[in-house]
Amino acid sequence: MTNDLQSRQWALKHQIVLGYQLFAELGWGDLGDGHISGRDPADPETLWLLDSNTPFKHASESNLVRLDAAGNVVEGVGTTNWPAFYIHYPILARRQDVNSVAHTHTQYGTPFAAEVRKFEAITQEACIFIDDHDVFDDEEVQVQDTDCGFRIAETLGRNRGLILRNHGLLAVGKTPKESVVWFIMMERVAEAHIKARQPKMISHNAALYAKADLATDQQVEHSFTNLVAHHLE
């Protein structure tokens, strides 16, 4: 592996680790219910996930495992998180523009998902997902094979976010930091929908205008840097 690929792989793994640690600091994943993946830059048909027996708060580069297309561990020491693999592998296989998927069960995302509806433009953050998310309306809440994962990937389409019926939220990105930022944004949007009793809608045009300024690489970098500084430093 070239030095460039080694550097890119390390950066990917470091972002995944920070993502898991952020989830832990936000009070998520204490039952091991969630996952953040990253497509390996040297072998794009494989992906990195946290070993299934490692708590989120203890995530480190040394307990990430690289999985092949069958879910076998080909690098690292640990075991496969099969529900994660069943969801993440099909999405990464279908979306070559995406290199990371983030999902966990949260205080607002999961109850909002039980309502089986889309986000509306009721907050600034919600504008990011206008015309850019969908609902996976399926009763298979315990994903047990890649068949379900490919159905999830099909419903996700070209969107950045997905609401999994009776399950929770899912976000994708070009990098782990991007998928994590969009996931945290989705959770805040779900919280607003649960708490706002009579919200006044933002018009579709105004929402798209805001989205153009908010859904950028610069916003991801700014948000991720601030999340890490606030919760992990």
- pTM, entire model: 0.97
Evaluate the CA torsion angle 48, 54, 60, 62 in order and state its sign.
negative
Q: At what angle do helices 146-156 and 82-94 cross, to 10 degrees?
A: 40
Predicted confidence (pLDDT) per residue in 111-147, tens digit: 999 999 999 999 999 999 999 999 999 999 999 999 9
| 33/42 Cα distance (integer angstroms) | 28
- The alpha carbon of 107 is separated from its chain's Cα centroid by a whole number of angstroms, namely 16
Domains and CATH numbers, the chain: 3-231 (3.40.225.10)
pLDDT (tens digit, 9 = 90+) per residue, 39-76? 999 999 999 999 999 999 999 999 999 999 999 999 99
DSSP assignment of 91-135 equals HHHH-TT--EEEEE--TTHHHHHTT-----S-STGGGGGTTSEEE
Residue with tokens 């027996």: 53
Q: Which residues contact 72 (CB under 8 A, 6 or more apart)?
A: 80
